[in-house]
Amino acid sequence: MGLRVLLVDDDERFRAAACRALAADGVEVVAEVDNGLDVAAAAAQWRPEVILLDMNLPDIDGREVARRLQTEESEAVVILISTRDAAHGRRLAAGLAAGYLPKDQLSLGAILELVPNGPPSRR
């Protein structure tokens, strides 16, 4: 079984493309969410190992969602994603997430580079 991921992004076309690319890498996207309000419930229901969280959501900023997830009981590793350049994204993700990935670099390898020991459930 592949890495279990919850994908959070309001762009349906991006989610579809990301799901195809991640599936080709053996990643299992267990659920997709298009807004920040539903992330905690989806994480509790699907228990992903990694949450790929867009910074620019229509209802709640992705950074605020990441802050809220820190207080939840989810053991999922949060990785912020966006179209921002890598250096700027990393600065915004600092202290809130395991790291940042530009959307065009999304892959299993890139995810695992941010979680070198693997997600908590795989340790």
CATH number of 4-122: 3.40.50.2300
Q: DSSP per residue over 76-96, as a string? A: PEEEEEESS-HHHHHHHHTTT
* % of the chain at pLDDT higher than 70: 93
Total residues belonging to the chain: 123
Given this model, what pLDDT does residue 29 score?
Answer: 97
Given this model, what pLDDT does residue 56 score?
Answer: 92
Query: Which pTM was predicted?
Result: 0.91
Count of H helices and E strands in the chain? 5, 5
Domain limits, the chain: 4-122
Asked if the model's pLDDT at residue 44 lies above 60, the reply is yes
